[in-house]
Amino acid sequence: MTVIDDVRALIDRLAPAPICDDCVADRLGLSVRQHANHKTRELAGSNGFERRKDICSMCYGEKLVIRRLK
């Protein structure tokens, strides 16, 4: 699987709960948060993925998050 596949699978598992880039990077063991940011921006707006400022379901911080609408 590629990194984008891993990111998509994680978001799908959590749906419809939102997750921030920091938590995506942490959960998937990505070395840099920017890698998660790039992939979540790539997914945003397609196939039911939504990116907006909200509360992350993992760290409870108010951040830019991504989620899959069901």
Which pLDDT score, from 0 to 100, does residue 33 have?
Answer: 81
Residues 4-53: pLDDT tens digits? 999 999 999 999 999 999 999 999 999 888 889 999 999 998 889 999 99
Number of structural domains, the chain? 1
Which pLDDT score, from 0 to 100, does residue 34 have?
Answer: 86
DSSP for 50-68 reads EEEEEE-TTT--EEEEEEE
Q: Which residue carries 């951040």 as its tokens?
A: 63
Which pLDDT score, from 0 to 100, does residue 32 have?
Answer: 81
67/60 Cα distance (integer angstroms):
14
pLDDT tops 80 at residue 70 = no
22/32 Cα distance (integer angstroms):
9
Which pLDDT score, from 0 to 100, does residue 47 have?
Answer: 87
- Nearest CA to 25 out of 12, 15, 10, 14 is that of 10
What integer is the mean pLDDT of 59-64? Answer: 97
Domain span at residue 49? 3-68
CATH number for the domain that contains residue 33: 1.10.10
